[in-house]
Amino acid sequence: MNPEPPIVRLTNVRLDRGANTVLRDISLEVPRGRIVAVLGPSGSGKSTLLAALTGELVPVSGTVEVLGQRVPQRSRELLELRKGIGMLLQGNGLLTDLTAGDNVALPLRAHTTLPEVLIRRLVEMKLHAVGLRGAVDAFPRELSGGMARRVALARALALDPPLMLYDEPLSGLDPIASGVIMSLIRRLNDTLGLTSIVVTHHVHETLPIADEVVVIANAGVVFAGSPDALQASTDPLVRQFLRGEPDGPIPFDASVRAEAA
């Protein structure tokens, strides 16, 4: 029996930002149906990795495959691929002149020919799934940080994408809102049959919902395995990150970090 192919596969990928190499020789596979947490200190290249998955950043070398195909460079094919990827951005990216409902309806109106009545119904269902059915007519400025994040999540789920990418989903949220977002990510992943990649530096909030963990530091993958294996790791680099120690193999100074990369 052939195992199901991974939904994301990176092979010997090198990613540069300008003249700096941010990540090098990255090889990674994300199996379908799993939640993979990509952890690492700020500036380690986690968001750069996501940019490669969405085609915003073209790798200098190596191959990036998403949903069974190499990430295309031609804009038309790239837009087609992106219809299968839902992404929750760190800054939400909600259109401020549209209501929450219209924000969620945006991809539905752009990519489907569904009648308006059905779109309204779907929007209500998506907002209901994130616990915000009553916020359909609210503008983003009227929502709290946690609520806006959930509206952005509902919008990312609008087209029922098989792959969800979360870029720092907890940044700027209080512990209660963080807990709500994390439990939503787990519940939606299981009930909708998604695959989720969660990029974050919030270790303790993320580990309970993750099936697998990848730790990125010093321009490479320094750990890949289960959350339990991460907790048990004796690697000094992993220990430093988990304990939040300023001194260790991961330099605190960003310039030193870039040189180390």
Partner 1 sequence: MALLESTRSLGRAGLFTLSVLRASRPSADLFRELVREIYKIGARSLPIIAVGGAFVGLSVTLLGYRALDTYGASNQVSAMLGLGLYRELGPVLTALLFIGRAGSSIAAELGLMRATDQITALGLMAIDPVGKAVAPRFWAAVLSVPLLTGFFCSFAITASYFEAVHVIGIDAGIFWQVLQDSVDFIDDFLMALLKSAVFGAIAALVAAYVGYHAEPTIEGTSVATTRAVVNASLLVLMFNFVMSALLFR
- Residues 126-165 binding partner 1 (CB under 8 A) are 152, 155
Residues whose CB is less than 8 angstroms from the CB of residue 4 and which lie 6 or more positions away in sequence, other chains included: 31, 32
Applying CB under 8 A, which part among 14-22, 31-39, 86-94, 197-205 lies near partner 1?
86-94
For residue 155, give the amino acid letter.
R
Asked if residue 17 binds partner 1 (CB under 8 A), the reply is no
Applying CB under 8 A, which part among 90-98, 169-177, 193-201, 249-257 lies near partner 1?
90-98
Applying CB under 8 A, among 60, 79, 256, 260 the residue interacting with partner 1 is: 79
CB of 134 to partner 1, least distance (A): 23
Mapping DSSP to helix (H, G, I), strand (E, B) and coil, where does residue 170 land?
A: coil
The size of the interface with partner 1 (CB under 8 A), counted in residues, is 23
User: In angstroms, rounded to a whole number, what is the distance separating the alpha carbons of residues 187 and 210?
Assistant: 12
Residues 207 and 233 sit within 8 Å (Cβ to Cβ): no
- Computed from CA positions of residues 204, 208, 209, 213, in that sequence, does the dihedral angle turn out positive or negative? positive
Q: Which of 114, 234, 205, 98 is nearest to 155 (CA)?
A: 98
Asked if residue 27 binds partner 1 (CB under 8 A), the reply is no
Q: Which is nearer to partner 1, 58 or 95 (CB)?
A: 95
Applying CB under 8 A, among 25, 56, 245, 259 the residue interacting with partner 1 is: 56
Asked if residue 106 binds partner 1 (CB under 8 A), the reply is yes
Q: Which of 220, 243, 233 is nearest to 21 (CA)?
A: 220
CB of 159 to partner 1, least distance (A): 8
Mapping DSSP to helix (H, G, I), strand (E, B) and coil, where does residue 248 land?
A: coil
User: In angstroms, rounded to a whole number, what is the distance separating the alpha carbons of residues 258 and 218?
Assistant: 8
Applying CB under 8 A, among 5, 12, 61, 83 the residue interacting with partner 1 is: 83
Applying CB under 8 A, among 24, 82, 126, 201 the residue interacting with partner 1 is: 82
Applying CB under 8 A, among 23, 85, 127, 151 the residue interacting with partner 1 is: 85
Residues 162 and 194 sit within 8 Å (Cβ to Cβ): yes
Place of tokens 């616990």: 131
Contacting residues toward partner 1, per CB under 8 A: 54, 56, 79-80, 82-83, 85, 87, 89-96, 106-107, 109-111, 152, 155
